[in-house]
Amino acid sequence: MKKLVGVTIVLLLILSACSKEKKGDDTIDQKVKSVITRMTIDEKIGQLVQKNGGSFSDSLIKAGGIGSILNEIDVETQNQIQKIAREESRLGIPILFARDVIHGFRTIMPIPLAQAATWNSSLVEQGARVAATEAASSGIRWTFSPMVDVCRDPRWGRISEGFGEDTYLTSEMGAALVRGYQGEKLNDKTSIAACVKHFAAYGWTEGGRDYNSANIPENELRDVVLPPFKRCANEGALSFMPTFNDINGVPATGNEFLLKQILRNEWKFGGIVVSDWVSIIQLVTHGVAENEKVATRMAMDATVDMDMASGSYRTYLKELIDEGEITIEQIDEAVARILKVKFELGLFENPYTNPSDFPAMLNENHLAIAKKAAVESAVLLKNEGALPIKKNVKTIAIIGPLADAPHDQMGTWVMDGKKINSVTPLTAIGEKAKELGIKVIYERALALSRSKEISNKEAVVKAARQADLVLLFLGEESILSGESHCLANIDLPGAQEELVNLIASQNKPVATIIMAGRPLTFERIVDKTSAILYAMHGGTMAGPAIADLLFGIESPSGKLPVTFPRHVGQIPIYYNHRNTGKPANNTTWQKLDDIPVEAPQLSIGNTSHYLDYGFEPLYPFGFGLSYTTFEYDKLKIKSDKLAQNDVVEVAVELKNTGNYDADEVVQLYIRDLVASRARAVKELKRFKRVHLAKGENTVVTFELPVSELGFHNQQMNYTIEPGTFNLWIGGNSNAGLMTTFKVE
């Protein structure tokens, strides 16, 4: 009897908790409805308007004519605006202040592409939490991040803002940012709303040109491009942003298939959809709307709730309602979604910002997270013994334009970071060298990364000759990547290759550190340097992170989130391609120099490759070296016959066989060997970052539901087909132990 009573009490407590949670949701919905029933049509339209800071009058706020303000970060001004909105407007609806907080506010984390190279979603989440806390202390409660555009073209400048070429890795990183921004409780003063962008296929634009058209089959859209967006929606992201470009001829801002059918109806997304900057009126430029009024109707029909900066909603919505082109119900639905987010963020209860309520920006904890992210994001691509710096090195020459570039090391899309807070590699290495009694000689060599002439060649040569080790800092300035900064040529810019040749001719050990916003092509210098550390743009603490890596205080552990081509002409080149009917391999590669004069034009035995650059990349997806070595052994699968509701359970033994304590990113890939639609030769499905002391070994386990092995068939239905699968576990997409299993 006592046991029965205990169970009953537990059930009642659970039901009570569920009831309270539901009641809380109902309370917000009821509050939203209560506000909407009292709103005039002008006040409703006002909530759908986002204005740029400084582009409006106090009277417009008082009239309830603005729902959100972009790029106003002065707290005193914000509080004055909120006071008018809350205390002088008729209904007291607060303003939602927004800002592009892409990879940090004042403490700048590595660029998102570099964060993906950490393969550490927990660390990425911590970085987003830092960014949210600092942004919220400046009154910002909405950021336009994460960008989860899968991209296979490094010519596209915005590849720096995303997480690379893989669907699963991008999904994990995007979800981590959503959690970090929005925190455990949305109404906490440090939580800010995430905005998932750019929905969808922005990374698919032709030729890697920004804002360009994307032509993509629906199955590719659903299997490769959309899953990261859906993952972020499932994580609770409060808002989405459609992309600038057209997808199969229909611009996303007016694309009912994407926004209404998939996002709203299939995924049941109930958050805000905000246009990108003036993208509503760009529907006219695209050629799908006759004029701005028609463009406004198209955006509203596609369920775009808020107009960023164009003014089209404010100008045309009321007229469209009067003409019966759109309904008041559409307006009410959009207003409800916006008000709900404002209630969820607690803006009605606490609209004002007091910076003293928050931890200081750039505090010790924030900088530690930024440094750790920079350490784990750096990828060691080559090492012939030059690194870590040996004890017998007495003089180091630091040469190159990126060694002391405090602005550029922060990377693209930094709105509020200050270069005065950046600690550069030159500064950090100098401090470490002083402690060890090592002399440092510095020569910039190039004024900018794109400079076409080496300045003071004699001094550069002299510095190299005097040194026991040359640290050569190359790459690209931050302005050479990011939005609207696409490149047809992604070689090392300017005279950097000439600089490498000049240094190499001095016959000294050279370690090259490349700081960039994208994969660059640098095959011609690989044999001329003893080590290559690809550090990308590492943020505020890039210098101390690189110094720790170079001196062996930390071992490199980053892994590439994108394939590195040998030549720009290989693009697109990515690991998860389909096999084709004539797959390339090393025995069938017909090399250009081996073709006889007047050879017959035959196709027999030919395969899919380039005569001049073959078929393999310079470095594969998932690749990254360490100062130690890791050995994989004894791959075991619990069952090699599985039903569709089963879970694949695998284990592998991992051993640190070298002389350094280090992290390894263990990666699991699968291949569906036979299906109704040709599948990729490999697909990343799981990964784990594992720390092992030298000589230590451990068993790494993975669980992979069979339900995640499906794809969209020719009828666009998600299906898991029976058949045989290969499974690999290893340190990159081109290595690993393999086993097989069957889905029945």
Positions marked catalytic: 276
- CA distances to 216, 326, 493 from 489, rounded to whole Å, are 24, 47, 9
**Sign of the alpha-carbon dihedral angle for 68, 74, 78, 80:** negative
Rounded Cα–Cα distance for residues 169 and 584 (Å): 26
Rounded Cα–Cα distance for residues 575 and 567 (Å): 16
Rounded Cα–Cα distance for residues 716 and 248 (Å): 17
CB proximity list for 501: less than 8 A, separation 6 or greater: 528
DSSP 254: G
HSE (side-chain half, CA atoms, 13 Å) at 324 = 0
Rounded Cα–Cα distance for residues 283 and 88 (Å): 36
DSSP 544: H
3-state SS record for 380-422: EEEECCCCCCCCCCCEEEEECCCCCCCCHHHCCCCCCCCHHHC
CB proximity list for 124: less than 8 A, separation 6 or greater: 115, 118, 173, 176, 177, 180, 373
Nearest to 640 by CA among 561, 536, 744, 730: 744
Q: What are phi and psi of 546, to 5 degrees?
A: -65, -40
Binning the chain into helix, strand and coil, the percentages to the nearest 5 are: 35, 20, 45
Rounded Cα–Cα distance for residues 620 and 626 (Å): 16
Rounded Cα–Cα distance for residues 453 and 476 (Å): 15
DSSP 737: E
* 166 close to 149: Cβ distance less than 8 angstroms: no
Instruction: Look at phi and psi of residue 249 and say left if phi exceeds 0, alpha if psi is from -120 to 50, else beta.
Output: left
Nearest to 201 by CA among 232, 166, 234, 246: 246
Q: What's the order of all strands across the beta sheet hosting 195-199?
A: 195-199, 239-242, 272-273
Nearest to 569 by CA among 597, 592, 588: 592
